[in-house]
Amino acid sequence: MANTNTKFRPKKMDSGFCCNNNIVLIGFMGSGKSSVGAQLARSLSRVLLDCDTLIEQTESMRIAEIFAKIGEAGFRQKERALAEWLAHNVRNAVIATGGGLPIFYQEIRNLGVVVYLKTDFETIQARLSDEERAKRPLFVDMQKARALYEERAQSYAACAHHTIDTKGNAHDIASAIITFL
Ligand code: S3P
């Protein structure tokens, strides 16, 4: 659970902190992982790696096209392969994950210090335009998206080292994250 007062320090990989100094943002679709990640990377002069963008670039396809072509299971395989590669090869980065990554890749803590951006469903609903929802195959049907949100909430909290409420703008949230690293 959240060890919010523990100073981040290098340690061998285990269920606690791992040694690669990455900051890993998790949370439901629309919780602000990419925008907070961009701000965090700017503030800390680190590189931002966005998992969905990396998969899209590697596959030369948008996420929705990947789902249509190889299904969710195929997408999850690619997501897991990317996560394993990041865990072994990336240091000192900010990593914005896709909303399902910590659910399907339970070794998420191997990637770095895991920060859960906790956002209520109503806020997410209001934030995502129809265009943004259309990019996310698991958010096309609002009722199913809400059920998925409820189903995942506990898992996000359980795998995170820190949980932060995403009230406020990306700058404020990034500053709050920096205070407990
Ligand atoms: C997904 C979230 C999406 C993307 C894919 C599946 C999920 O990323 O990885 O559509 O299972 O929650 P964002 O959280 O960046 O929207």
Give tens-digit pLDDT for 87-96: 999 999 999 9
Virtual torsion, Cα 157, 92, 170, 110, nearest 10 deg:
-10
Q: What is the pTM of this model?
A: 0.91
Tokens 């951006």 -> residue = 117
List the strands of the sheet with 23-26, edge to edge: 48-50, 94-96, 23-26, 113-118, 162-165
* Phi, psi (deg, nearest 5) at residue 159: -90, -5
d(CA 155, CA 109): 13
| Residue 29 CB less than 6 A away from ligand 1 | yes
Give the tokens for residue 117: 């951006």
Quote the pLDDT of residue 17.
Answer: 58
The ligand 1 atom at the shortest distance from the C-alpha of residue 136 is: 10
Residues 6+ apart with CB under 8 A from 3: 16, 161, 162
What's the 58 CA to ligand 1 centre distance in angstroms? Answer: 16
Note the pLDDT tens digit of each residue in 22-67.
Answer: 999 999 999 999 999 999 999 999 999 999 999 999 999 999 999 9
CB 135 within 8 A of CB 98: no
Note the pLDDT tens digit of each residue in 96-118.
Answer: 999 999 999 999 999 999 999 99
Residue percentage of the chain with pLDDT more than 70:
90
| Residue 102 CB less than 6 A away from ligand 1 | no
Give, for ligand 1, the residue of 59, 136, 146, 156 to mutate: max count of ligand atoms closer than 8 Å to Cβ. Answer: 136
